Amino acid sequence: MLISEDLVGSLNEAVRVAHEDEFGALGRKLTRRGVDIEAVVARAMAWSVAVPTWGVGTGGTRFARFPGRGEPRNIHDKLADCGMIQQLTRGTRTVSPHIPWDKVSDYNALRQEAAQYGLGFDAVNSNTFQDQADQALSYRYGSLANARSDIRAQAVAHNLECIEIGKALGAPALTVWIGDGTNFAGQQSLSKMFENYLSAMEEVYAALPPGMAMFIEHKMYEPAFYSTVISDWGSSLMAAQALGPQAKCLVDLGHHAPNVNIEQIVARLVHVGRLAGFHFNDSKYGDDDLDSGSVDPFRLFLVFNELVEAELRGAKGFAPSYMIDQSHNVTDPIESLMGSAVEIARAYVQASLVDRKALAEAQEANDVMAAHRTLKAGFLTDVSPILAEARMRQGGAYDPIAAYRASGYRGRVAQERPEVKGSSSGIV
């Protein structure tokens, strides 16, 4: 345990009377709506979202990175930080590694190390959007879609290595996001690049073991600014359908033009049985990677409305993977990730409270206002007591960020982890 259970217990005890009062009041309110609060608590307890290993380090922008105190130096430190998040929130049971950032020599040992914190592994992310020190050929002009076959082959080999690592870690999927694209009209053939990508991805797909999925992540722009090879869910779906049933489409909230109806994209991908899952964050303009629910919690709720609806009706092939994908520039990343885990669980629970029967009836009757009010009732319910109850029943904290601050964890690890000086640019 990274924080003493006694400390968590005494902090929880200090708010017990107030919490029980609020939980009881919410329970009575839900009973009047025909909802059993215990069933909702059970759903909240079963919920989990993966934490990206890179999220526990301070991110940055294209301009600068301002390192924080006690930054994780390697995957071992990152696992400890993720363990801390899980210990207090009890809703982040897996971590998603990025290769080669998290490369080690013994993945079985890494798996055991993670298990000691109660953590398993989610999708392995490949990285062909940067050059590594020991790399023979550069990805400056692209990787899997590069015009040069030797560069494509190198990118394929990296993805094959990621599959092997995924097998050793027990990861359910390989996530492929590439930065390939162009900055100038005429720089490359738009068609040829997509064809190159598809043939390279075929080689990667062929190496997937039966139980492992391939998640194709689209993003509209950045680092390429004129055209991006897998820019949207249409290109992603075309690729997934060309590759085969193990290939699915991953939606990252920040990877669309402003105001795009992302919940409708979710509905479409659910319809074709190709929704891989979600990368949660929030954004105002682009791939801002802000904390989930910090800008537009209603949009997050609307996404969850589609996800919960698909879950409850048992949509075919619906088994999404959920991950947080954020960059923390001005906060302690552990606090941001804990806060985000809570906000994501909140949207899930709020969406679980929507009266689906009443909603279907209002839609059937074309009663627009009744339909909207029924949907909104879920969003307008303060489910904080349910979230707190679910955490505490599993040994987590009533207020994870307050407990983390009280523990002095950051100060403690700052003594072991030397300060990183200077500023460099961050990740994309």
Q: Footprint of Mn ion on this chain (CB under 5 A)?
A: 252, 279, 287, 325
Among 93, 219, 248, 410, which residue sits at the site for ligand RM4 (rule: CB under 6 A)? 219
* DSSP-based three-state secondary structure for 276: strand
Say how many residues touch ligand RM4, by CB under 6 A.
Answer: 10
- Work out how close the CB of 427 gets to ligand RM4 at its nearest, in angstroms, rounded to a whole number: 5
Out of Mn ion, ligand RM4, none, what residue 410 binds, judged by CB under 5 to 8 A for its kind, is: none
- Work out how close the CB of 98 gets to ligand RM4 at its nearest, in angstroms, rounded to a whole number: 6
Burial, 225: exposed, middle or buried (Cβ in 10 Å; 0-12, 13-18, 19+)? Answer: exposed
Cα dihedral 375, 379, 385, 387 sign: positive
- Work out how close the CB of 377 gets to ligand RM4 at its nearest, in angstroms, rounded to a whole number: 33
List the interface residues with ligand RM4, window 269-288 (CB under 6 A). Answer: 279, 287
Query: Do 367 and 373 touch, CB atoms closer than 8 A?
Result: no
Residue 177 makes contact with ligand RM4 by CB under 6 A: yes
Residue type, 382: D
- Work out how close the CB of 225 gets to Mn ion at its nearest, in angstroms, rounded to a whole number: 15
Helical H segments across 290-332, by residue range: 297-312
The values of phi and psi at residue 105, to 5°, are: -90, -25
Distances (CA, A) of 360 to 273, 356, 357, 363: 22, 6, 5, 5
Among 180, 217, 291, 332, which residue sits at the site for ligand RM4 (rule: CB under 6 A)? 217
Residue 220 makes contact with ligand RM4 by CB under 6 A: no
Query: Do 287 and 222 touch, CB atoms closer than 8 A?
Result: yes
| CB closer to ligand RM4, 54 vs 404 | 54
| CB closer to ligand RM4, 118 vs 286 | 286
String marking each residue 113-152 x if it binds ligand RM4 according to CB under 6 A: ------------x---------------------------
- Work out how close the CB of 258 gets to Mn ion at its nearest, in angstroms, rounded to a whole number: 15
Torsion of Cα atoms, 169 then 173 then 174 then 176, to 10°: -150
Element (H, E) at 216: strand 213-217
| Residues contributing to the site for ligand RM4 (CB under 6 A) | 125, 177, 217, 219, 252, 279, 287, 325, 427-428
